Amino acid sequence: MNARFVPVIALWFLAACTSPLPKPLTVLQAPAGVSPAVATQLDQGNALFASQKWAEAEQIYRQVIASQPTLAEAHYNLASALHRAGKTVEAKKHYMEAANLAPGNKVIWDAPPLRASSFNDDLNKKSYLDPKPY
């Protein structure tokens, strides 16, 4: 094999072994059955999020949560805005609240802290209570 193709092949293998890029944070639309005022407010927050105005979007999402505390999409969107603003501890709380309010929503359960198994790290550790296979 020609020696100049070895680096090209090595780079190709290296690129093939890299992990996929993380999914970008998205925001959710208001579900059916929500009042038009709340849906409009959530859309305003989503527009601010798309414009990368995290603080302004955060304020709008907090207003939506104040009027509709059980709206999982509002908690998820607030968590996404907080996550982008670097407030990861508070973001995790709202990701968890969204997951609790919408247990079957795949988009919510694919959120960064829920997907990355940071909450489940301790589940994989061995305990002294585990049976010992001899």
User: Does a structural domain hold residue 55?
Assistant: yes
Residue with tokens 């009027």: 67
User: Does a structural domain hold residue 13?
Assistant: no
pLDDT digits (tens, 9 = 90+) for 12-27: 666 656 655 455 568 9
Number of folded domains in the chain? 1
- Give the pLDDT score at 112: 76
User: Does a structural domain hold residue 134?
Assistant: no
User: Does a structural domain hold residue 127?
Assistant: no
pLDDT digits (tens, 9 = 90+) for 80-133: 999 999 999 999 999 999 999 999 899 998 887 777 554 445 555 565 566 666
Question: Domain range spanning residue 52?
Answer: 36-117
Residue with tokens 């609790």: 100
User: Does a structural domain hold residue 23?
Assistant: no
User: Does a structural domain hold residue 18?
Assistant: no
DSSP state of 133: -
Selected residue with higher pLDDT from 7 and 56: 56
User: Does a structural domain hold residue 69?
Assistant: yes
Report the b/e string of 67-87 with b at 16+ CB within 10 A.
ebeebbbbbbbbbbbbbbeeb
CATH number at residue 48: 1.25.40.10
Check pLDDT > 80 for residue 2.
Answer: no
